[in-house]
Amino acid sequence: MKILALTSQKGGSGKTTLAGHLAVAAESAGAGPVALIDTDPQGSLTDWWNAREAATPAFISASVPTLAGDLERARDLGFGLVVIDTPPAITDMIEHVIALSDLIAIPTRPSPHDLRAAGTTISMVEAAGKPLVFVINGANPRARITGEAAVVLSQHGTVAPVTVHQRTDFAASMIDGRTVQELPRAERSSDEIARLWDYIDGRFRKESGTTMMADGFAKLAGRPSGGASHWTAAR
């Protein structure tokens, strides 16, 4: 089971929208079963899921104190992916989520405020020794700052090669529990999400291969390898 956390100190970066969209895209691509966890007290992802008519993805009602156990329960039940949404803050809770995750996605809008706010999140992820990927989100395709943001972020980590652009269909889909992939006439947005998931799935495979190699070298050297409830799956 893989665990993807979306985190950013900056509010309005699009964490919740991307969490829901990536979970649905992953399920559609055969990476499921997929489950969502909402650790943001505001509960926007929970509200989106409650408005959703489709049976997937599942939803785990978890709290930070029980998170490790809830994730183990998800693993035991056969989930292939868990996507965790987090609040726009830097707290011990975020640190705990990062420590339990396999990959951290940091959505960043191409603005000076967002770029400055990413620093604390980057430090926290690096301190935990976790792989990260920046996702440029809410971009204007004609704005030069989008490319400039990618250059700045690339100095601190990998930038996803797929940029998610600002379009009204993203907001429209979140109103009633859908995603752009489930809306008519949203082909460009749908394609961005599908390609973004393909990239993240590739990152999971890459990180998994790196871990397996590290474990193999540790065994050859005779060293131990390192590693990093209430439950609901229905409304």
Query: Does residue 230 form part of some domain?
Result: no
Distance CA 203, CA 172 (A): 29
Query: Does residue 217 form part of some domain?
Result: no
Query: Does residue 227 form part of some domain?
Result: no
Distance CA 106, CA 87 (A): 12
Q: Which domain holds residue 125?
A: 6-209
Confidence of residue 55 (pLDDT cuts 50, 70, 90): very high
Residues in contact with 198: Cβ distance below 8 Å, sequence separation at least 6, in sequence order: 29
Question: Total structural domains in the chain?
Answer: 1
Query: Does residue 171 form part of some domain?
Result: yes
CATH number at 74 reads: 3.40.50.300
Residue 78's identity, in one-letter code, is: G
Dump pLDDT digits (tens) for 57-98.
999 999 888 999 999 999 999 999 999 999 887 678 899 999
Rounded to two decimals, the pTM is 0.87
Residues in contact with 187: Cβ distance below 8 Å, sequence separation at least 6, in sequence order: none
What whole-number percentage of the chain has pLDDT above 70? 89
Please count the other Cβ atoms lying within 10 Å of the Cβ belonging to residue 110.
23
Confidence of residue 210 (pLDDT cuts 50, 70, 90): low
> Which pair of tokens denotes residue 169?
């269909």
- Average pLDDT score over the chain: 88
Dump pLDDT digits (tens) for 114-133.
888 888 899 999 999 999 99
